[in-house]
Amino acid sequence: MRVLGRHLVLPTVLLTLAAGCTPAGLSTSNDDTATPAPGSSRPGEPQPIEVVEITPRPTATSPSASSSPSTSESPHPAAGGPAPPEAIAATVLDGDVALIVTPSGNITCALSAHTAGCTITSYAEDMPYGADTFGPRWWVALDEHPVAVVSTPEAPFTEITEVVPQEITYGQVVQYGDHVCASESNGLTCWNTSTGHGAFMNRRATQVF
């Protein structure tokens, strides 16, 4: 493992640690009894998260990429919180890295105990987020704060390993360390249970929270 610029290479995958969380708001009535502020959830209910889409540019295969996402394109309901009860342990490879892939094969993620990131193959081909001197922006750096879609100076571990990734079927949720990934037919949601930050990714665009 070595440091390349501001990124951690594991062994050649760009990874960094995100930080920060959003506390739930509370209002206090005259009798000093704390009640949920408008828009906040009650104790025991999932806390709301702020989702922001990283706006892609139109491409030949997705001419309306910059349009607003549909209501069906949203993060997993548990996103930003603890791992849901149905989460199972991800298969860990030598080197303490879990490698997962969506059924379509378009999104592959490398998860370690403290870092995580995903390559989106279609972003390398269609380049909805453009490119820079290092190539297309196709790597979702899940532990950047805020989460970002960036290029990679070196080939990510997801692309150079000969290990077959663990396929995460639609409806399945896996966890490794602080990281959880939930696979659905409309996209993949991955987040850090300690910071609450993560991303919802699919072929059209990436939303961060």
pTM for the full predicted model = 0.71
- E strand intervals along 14-74: 14-15, 26-28, 34-36, 52-54
Q: In the prediction, which pLDDT does 59 show? A: 59
Among all chains, which residue has been given the structure tokens 């309306």?
Answer: 64
In terms of phi and psi (left: phi > 0; alpha: psi -120 to 50; beta: otherwise), the region of 143 is alpha
Q: Splitting the chain (209 residues) into consecutive groups of 10 residues, what average pLDDT does each group show?
A: 36 34 35 40 58 79 47 88 97 89 96 91 96 94 92 75 89 97 98 96 96
Whether 42 contacts 11, CB under 8 Å: no
Q: List the strands of the sheet with 187-192, edge to edge.
A: 52-54, 206-208, 198-201, 187-192, 179-184, 173-176, 88-89
Q: In the prediction, which pLDDT does 47 show? A: 59
Q: In the prediction, which pLDDT does 207 show? A: 97
Pairing relationship of beta strands 2-4 and 7-9 according to DSSP bridges: antiparallel
